[in-house]
Amino acid sequence: MGDIENTCASLRAQIAATEAQLAGLKRELESAEQEAIKARAPDALNLAPTVSNQCSEKRRWPLLDEEYRRYGRQMIVPQVGLQGQLKLRSAKVLIVGAGGLGCPAAQYLAGAGVGTLGLVDGDTVESSNLHRQVLHRTKNVGKLKVDSATESLRDLNPHPTYIAHRAHLAPSDAAEIFKNYDLVLDCTDNPATRYLISDTAVLLGKPLVSASALRTEGQLMVLNNPPRPVGDKTGGPCYRCVFPRPPPANSILSCADGGILGPVVGTMGVLQALEAIKVITAADDAVQPPSLHIFSAYSSPLFRTIKLRSRRSNCAVCSAEASVNLETVKSGSTDYVFFCGSVSPEKLLSLEERISPLEYRAKYPLESSREAIAMGRKEPMIIDVREKVQFDICNLENSINIPISSILSSSTTKSQNGDGPSPLPPWLPADIASSESNDPIYVVCRLGNDSQIAVKRLKELGLDRGGERVVADLRGGLRAWREQVDPEWPEY
């Protein structure tokens, strides 16, 4: 056993050394490529006189020969032209988030020839990212997203300068990072960071392209455009102007919880890149009125546009009455987590009302119902409160599906005279509600949060028979089931 462990340790060390060597070679290659580009003009001076004159004449053109070939198709578009291409080459764009939105946005901005592209992200690549985060590759699973993205972008276009900010955006660092860029793209997926990005962009005078996507829908806005000083009513609205109050924290769904179609988030990221190009190449007097663009993949038409108001007169960051400034952001006085609320795991039940998957399996080992009856053991009822689409992916044997949305859609009501039993909702199966049944009820969900809510609801309906009947949830949900009981359980 010791020899095998030593061999594994040796192989890991060799892999780490090889990866370090490869990273060094890539850095050397990048430096050599940059030096080669810089060396083109001086080398031309050493050619014969006639050729030298031709090269001298070529150097009068503002772009390199290869750049004309690379960007020619977009330069002949009237809205871009040569001047627009030069603006793109001198532009510095910051993308916050190298995920489903940031990947396609970065791809198209790099392809378009944006001179400097910065990426901010502290996450690493996971296999669950790959269906939608198109810059990352299977070989880069476990690698920082900004490094994985930069690697792909350099393969696509070596001309831009790529800057990796290898950490999540923090209030203390946001202003220092933003000040070096001309335009910011918000490609994040949580309200607290969105408010931080918008506030910092407004306070530093940076236009902001913001987007979001979930399931089959997306939203897109260009904010703080034109980027006027705080208190100037002619400036574009900010994120706080559109959403003065964040949504309730417990109503926020992530892609991991709500799901996402890759082309949906890809569409929104591509549109962010398009809006960024429009902002960069636009004439000073060609600012479009602020709008909220709503995309829905399964609707007709696919897009709807809502006109936005100008800056709010009482906005906390961009009005004359602003209470948010760079100092309050940097010092933490503007608490974004407190403002938006934090969603911590539900702790609605006592320890007696919960059971771990390991404890459940020990209490109810795999055996036939006949064997259980012969041993005088009551068969438990398992209620899976995930939505049907998740239940259909994988489910526990003999479990029934009652989606949490159905449970929450009905309220607990008292009888008219107030002393009778509560009427039972239609989603509750008759065999569970039967007064003759005292079989234990266990509720399971994906992570162990919705199941607690469901247990509380079942007890409010009196299904625990005043404590005579076991009604509990599986602590940690099906993720814990995979970890403790069945390692082959699908992880999605």
Residue stretches of the annotated binding site for ATP: 100, 121, 128-132, 145, 189-190
Annotated catalytic, 255?
yes
Nearest C-alpha neighbor of 74 from the set 62, 93, 55, 88: 88
- Which of the following is catalytic: 103, 187, 255, 340? 255
Q: Quick one: tokens of 39?
A: 């060396």
Nearest C-alpha neighbor of 132 from the set 105, 151, 110: 105
Which strands form 116-120's sheet, in the order they lie side by side?
161-165, 116-120, 92-96, 183-186, 208-214, 217-223, 291-296, 303-307
- Which of the following is catalytic: 103, 187, 340, 445? 445
Nearest C-alpha neighbor of 384 from the set 424, 347, 437, 429: 429
What DSSP state is assigned to residue 468? T
CB 243 within 8 A of CB 199: no
Task: Please give the annotated binding residues for Zn(2+), written as ranges.
Answer: 238, 241, 315, 318
- Count other Cβ atoms within 10 Å, centred on residue 408: 13
Nearest C-alpha neighbor of 259 from the set 295, 214, 217, 298: 214
CA distances from 438 to 285, 365, 470 (A): 74, 20, 8
CA distance 226 to 233: 11
Nearest C-alpha neighbor of 342 from the set 191, 131, 148: 191
CA distance 114 to 197: 21
Annotated catalytic, 103?
no
Nearest C-alpha neighbor of 346 from the set 269, 453, 440: 453
The catalytic site residues sit at 255, 445
